[in-house]
Structures are given as structure tokens and as C-alpha cells.
Chain A
């Protein structure tokens, strides 16, 4: 921050702002010159100066932006895990190399952390001394006028009999200037809010980083899939996937629960956009805490359920057709919904896997295609619409044998274990689609499968992030600070009354009242406002210029 202070001191002297750039770069160079033989302290000081110099901040800012680019090119863990896995499948060697540089975890990478930690260290190093300087300046009076007001960027003079220092000071104060007076002069300054805003902005950025960090440590996130008619209670065990921050313990989860009473999705039925979704809504019965009365809540895409700061979002949906499976012994071995994966989002053509470990004498595994709106096409059946207008379930694979569930390895519920599948007996390879209420008998007396109805599942994300509100407040403050620092101008006005200094006067400056002004904000136009100030100081005088 050296150069800014330097520039401030320079401007203090009442010089025109144009004189500063040379000084700026001088200070910049000095900061970067290596100390020779200064020992540890010297080096530390050099390092700190370099780190907190504006140029370093600029470079770090650029590195920060550059560093986040890989995050948009390669899929990121925690955002799209499936795509990361796909990448490892497609090009394992390249993926391994990329992984060595954390390119699938850019925002958790040590090198990324190094950039932003340095940046924020630099920010602290910049903000602290500047705050001190600013506080000092807030208490200081505007500086005495330079000897020659005519040499300032803005200058005017006029005749005004009987205008006193007090009257000028009063008028300037009314214009919200900060004013000091001398025997025959008035010095005024305003626009301190610019620097205040700038500091607020930078401090707010620090606050934002802290809020985001705290949110990650003390918050958690989890995903769960719930079928219509079923419920969820907020405990770690209930999640399909649970991602806690380092400081979260299982007991601190908000103890709410809900049941999914109904889910409706509506789609455009006609025209070019046929099939485009219009609205999703899940009707929940929510119990905020054990023993509390149940309340109804309509969960929608832009409208999460909020229970004391723990939010439940509707993020996905799909079909869960229900089946009743009778085994070879005539007993009902399975009866319920099967959540299916959506393979074609435009038509919601879905694939379902049913594992029936309880079937006797042999376990059963079934692969079923679910078509919400079925129409025949070239000896096949396809779905033409995402809504369930004509739902069918087509068993395209039924197997008997050992599902391999006992070997202890975790299995995906959406997949029949390929190694087990090889050892199982195929029963059916391609059956005609079943309408709701229809039954397919499996060969060899292995039993039957009945398509009993259609339900839907919803995927929910549940998050608790204590940093949300602080992060929002910090960013709102940052905007306020930014607007102040970009719009407010720092300007000084001096008025000298009488003939105290006639040296340097121009010929056309006939009046004994001289006004000079300058703005300390580069690139802004002060002439208009200056003219207004001059006219406000000189209301009674008739037009005699020119």
C-alpha cells in the first residue's frame, strides 16, 4: 500500500493530481528492490511489502481467475461425480495425471488454496494500514490553501463586497463540506465516503471468505430419494449420501421429518415444445420436531422447505412403478415400488432393476423398461411423452439364481451384479409390455410378475449451511462499499478573500474573492460541480464576466 500513501502525501501538498504517477512507480520500484544483507527481518519486510503491493495483488487476482478455469473444463468431484468416473473409464492414464494435479478437485486443491490465501493475506496487508491512514485522515482538518489558487485545475474569482470567511464557511458546510478557516481563507473537503466505501468493500470480501469457510466447516449436505407415500427423518442413517463438514456431529442434525404425500409434474402437451416440463410440486406432510403437529408444505423447484435453517430442495424426479412378484412356491416375495433411472429425460423412458432375494426356491433378478406413454413403433415400443398417459412395463430380462448379495460387497440397487448375472439362469429375454394390472408368468414355474401401478420418486437435497446469512450480508456490504468507492469523489475547495496574495493572478481575475478546487479522483469531471459551488458562494453578484 506504500504507493497509495505516497500518492496521498504528494496530493496533500495541493499539487494537481497529474503530478503523481511518477511518484507511484517510484514507490513501486522501491518495494520490489531486494534488500541486500538485511537478514531475516529485512527479508520478511521485503516479502510483506511485495505481497501487499498493488501489483502483486493484481497478479494474484489474475492467478485466482486463471486457477478456476480448469474447474470449468474438467468435471469436478462433488459436483458431477458420475462424469469424473466416466473420464477415468474413457482415458484412465490421462485421468490419473490430471488427478495428480487435483484437476478434478480444483477448488479443494492446495495450489488453489495457496493462491487465495496469499491474495487474502495481501488484502489484509492492504486494508489494515489503509484503515489506519483513513481513520487519521478523518480526524484531520482540510489542509491550508496553496499559495497560488490560480494554478489549481479549477479556479475562479469574483467580486463580492462584504463576503466574510464565516459566511463562506457556513455555505460550504451546508453543502456538506468539512471546513476549516484562517484569517482570510477557508479550506473545505468532502468525499471521505469514497475511501470508507473502498475499505468496506475490501473488508466485506474478507468477511465473505470467512463466512464461506465457516459454512463449509459447520454445515452439511445430503441427498435422499423418496417414493410417494414414503417418509424421511433427518438422521445420518436416512441419507443415501451424506457429506458433513469437519465440525458437524451427527447429533446436531435438525430433528424434523416428513412424508411425501403426492408428487405432480405437468408438461406441455401440444406443439413444438411438447414434453417440456411446466411445473413440479411435491406435497409434504412436515413434522418440525418429534411430537410437533404435522403441517402441509408444497415443495417446488424454487421454493425449498425451511426448518430452522435446514433446507430441503426438490432437485430431481422419476418414476417408481409398483410390482407384485410371486415366487415359484406361490408366495408373494416382493410387493412395492421400484425407483427407476431415467435414461431419456425427454420422454422419461426409464430402466428399473428388481432384486428379489426372498424368492423361493431361487432368488430372482429382473430388468424392466418403464415407458410412461407407450406407442408401438416398428415391432418395438417407445415412450413419446414424459407424463404417464399410457404407462407400460416391459420385462426384458428375468434371471433366476444367486444374486450375490451375501458376499458382503456393496451393490448398486440400480444394477444386477455382472459377475452374478453370468451365473444366473435367463428365464425371459424380451416380453411384451405389461399395462397396469397385467401379469407375466415366468417360465419353468419360477413365479410371476404383476405390474400393479405407477408412483413417482423425488430426489431431495438437504443442506444446513450456517454461513449463508453472513455470506449474504458480507456480499451486500461489498456492493454498498463498491458503489460508494466508485461513485463518490474526493474534492477540495479553497477560498481566499481579499487581496492577501496578488501574485500569480491572471489579468481576467478581477475580483478579490478567489476560489480554487481540485478532485483527488483521477478521471472525473469536477468542473460542473465546481461552477455550482462558485455560484453558491456568490449569489448576489450580477453577470459581469466577459
Chain B
């Protein structure tokens, strides 16, 4: 196993992480300008009042009428694509300044750039130490921020959820800043227990699921913060849809991560489940997200209540990441937090 650390690559990785933080912050400003000076979004009620008529596949030669406004593809599009219908909110909007048109595409471009820098930082760190680059808290949090931004960019391509940009980039910038400031440890080899291909399986799955849950968490917070009326924040329906999608994808991945953890524990610690603090909180997080999915399927529990359940689950996830390592210890505590 390689013990030598390539110092040049490790330094490059550190610098790239800093560059990532800067890029995300600038992108965040772009999104904020777009939110602030672009068109305000109509209320959920306002949007519902007018049915969106979508014509699908003109070659087909058929019209597909949507009886309600719940054609998600159309409803989740942003200002410029569905602008015509959107402008009619509770009050009449002034036309946005000309430069505001550019804020959003520039912000998206910067996010991609930041994403690339983030990815390269992770790869160079991995090459520098010759192992999977998530052996300690610092590396783990950097990868999680990367996963969250990836989830956002993916959702953006697929569902046009650009409205979350400002909030996801600020969350990622804060996460990266926190890890650089408080969690940083120099690149190096890991303790024998972490020296296993299970790192690639278990931790990667946990990182991907966490990234998706961050997306959902950000949407959930906005959902609760948002007031009724023509606010400049995304509509409740959009937020709910993004959160639900992220969790529907994230939950099975999280389940897989927990099971992979159990399999690893069976190899490393002599039992597959021992109620170690980390295991307990992974389990609690899992139950809480399962409760969210159940809540969505239970009448009278949708909307606000389900969102609160989701945020409790998110709080459990975050506590498991930070709290358990710092306050509770246990077998997982080789996650190296600098003292």
C-alpha cells in the first residue's frame, strides 16, 4: 500500500477546494441577482388558476390537454420559459432590467465551473494519497458538497430546478468553508480498518444519498420560510416536488449505504449490527425518511407536516455526520476530527 504522499498534488487539491468555494459564492450571487431582479413567481394559487396547456410532440398530430395545472414539466420551468403565464401574480411586475437576463446563465456556468474544480480537487487528493479520497471528515464533507451540487445540476438539466441554485451553492460554499476551516487534515494514508474496498461502496453511497438529502433539506427550509403571495422565492409546489424527487432517489441509496455498512461491519468488527452510535443514528435517519415517505402517502400529512418530518430526518443526518463524531464517539470515530 502506498505510504508516500504526493505533496504537489495534495497542495493542488487544497487550492482547488478554495477555488471551488469562491466559484460557488460568485455563482450564488448570480442566482441571487436573478431571483431579485428577474420576475417574481406567482403564488401556488395564482399558478393553479390558469391551466397550462402543453402540446406534446407536434409530429404526432394530437393535442394532449392537461385538465389541471399539475403538468410538472411545464409548471417547474423558470421565468423565461413559461414567463408569459407566470407574470400574472397578485400584483403587476415591472419589466426586469436587461442585464438580469444574463444573471442566471452566468450563474449556471459558474456552478459548472465550481463543480469541475470540486471534482478535480477530490480526484487530485485521491491521486496524491493513492486511495479513495474519503477517509476522514474533511474529505467526506468535501465530497458531500460535491454530491449536493451534482444533484442540483442533474435536477436542473432534468427538471429545470434552477430556482434552488442560490440556496444549494450557498449550502455547498458553507459546507466547504466549514470543512476547510475546522476539519482540515493533511493528505495521508488511513488507519488499517479503513483500508478496504468497502470504503468505495459504503461511503460513496452515503455521500451520494447525503448530497440528495441536502437538496431536499434546502427545499424544505425554503418551503417553510416562504410566505404566501408573489414572493421571489420558488413556489411551494416546485419545492415540494424537488424535495420528494430527491428523497425518492436518495432513500434507496441511503438504505443501500446502511446495508453496505452492515456488511463491512461484519468483515471488520465481527458483527453486522451492534448499535454503535453511528449505526443508531443512521437507523434513526432511515426511519425518519421512511416516515416522510409514509407521511406523503397518508392523508392529512402532506405539505407542511411532511416537510417538517423531512427536515427532522435531515437534522438526524447532519447530527450523524457532525454530532456523533464529536460528542458520542464509538467505533466510527476514526473519522479524524482535528482537536
Q: Are A21 and B3 in contact, CB atoms less than 8 angstroms apart?
A: no
Per-position 1/0 for B267-303, Cβ under 8 A of A? 1111111111100110110011011011111111110
Contacts of B58 in A (CB 8 A): 543, 545-546
Q: Are B186 and A273 in contact, CB atoms less than 8 angstroms apart?
A: yes
Q: Is A236 located at the chain interface by the 8 A CB criterion?
A: no
Q: Which residue of A lies closest to B286 (CB)?
A: A65
Q: Are B270 and A472 in contact, CB atoms less than 8 angstroms apart?
A: no
Per-position 1/0 for B45-56, Cβ under 8 A of A? 000000000111
Q: Is A200 located at the chain interface by the 8 A CB criterion?
A: no
A221 partner, pick from B64, B270, B281, beta carbons under 8 A:
B270
Total of A-B residue pairs, C-beta within 8 Å: 217
Contacts of A487 in B (CB 8 A): 248
Q: Which residue of A lies closest to B197 (CB)?
A: A302
Q: Is A403 located at the chain interface by the 8 A CB criterion?
A: no
B65 partner, pick from A22, A155, A268, A535, beta carbons under 8 A:
A155
Q: A278-B189, A527-B56, A531-B60 are in contact. Are A468 and B195 (CB under 8 A)?
A: no
Contacts of A62 in B (CB 8 A): 287-288, 291
Contacts of A508 in B (CB 8 A): 63, 65
Q: Are A543 and B59 in contact, CB atoms less than 8 angstroms apart?
A: yes
Q: Are B56 and A528 in contact, CB atoms less than 8 angstroms apart?
A: yes
The stretch from B33-41, B77-85, B214-222, B258-266 touching chain A is B258-266
Which of B131-189 touch A at CB < 8 Å?
Answer: 186, 188-189
The stretch from A86-94, A246-254, A474-482 touching chain B is A474-482
- Measured CA separation A465–B273 after assembly (Å): 12
- Measured CA separation A463–B274 after assembly (Å): 13
Q: Is B339 located at the chain interface by the 8 A CB criterion?
A: no
Q: Are B252 and A486 in contact, CB atoms less than 8 angstroms apart?
A: yes
Contacts of A301 in B (CB 8 A): 192-193, 195, 268
- Measured CA separation A522–B55 after assembly (Å): 22
Q: Which residue of B lies closest to A265 (CB)?
A: B192
Q: Are A304 and B267 in contact, CB atoms less than 8 angstroms apart?
A: yes
Contacts of A69 in B (CB 8 A): 280, 284
Q: Which residue of B lies closest to A26 (CB)?
A: B299
Beyond A24-B300, A61-B287, A531-B56, 17 extra complex contacts between A and B, CB < 8 Å: A3-B298, A20-B299, A21-B300, A54-B294, A58-B291, A65-B283, A154-B66, A155-B64, A268-B3, A276-B189, A278-B192, A465-B271, A475-B259, A542-B61, A543-B60, A543-B61, A545-B63
Q: Can you spell out 22 A-B residue pairs with CB atoms less than 8 angstroms apart?
A: A16-B67, A24-B298, A28-B300, A62-B291, A65-B283, A69-B284, A72-B275, A154-B64, A155-B64, A221-B271, A268-B188, A273-B186, A273-B188, A279-B1, A468-B272, A472-B272, A479-B252, A522-B297, A531-B57, A538-B61, A545-B58, A545-B61
Considering the complex of A and B, which 3 residue pairs feature the smallest CB-CB distances, nearest first?
A24-B299, A531-B56, A313-B270
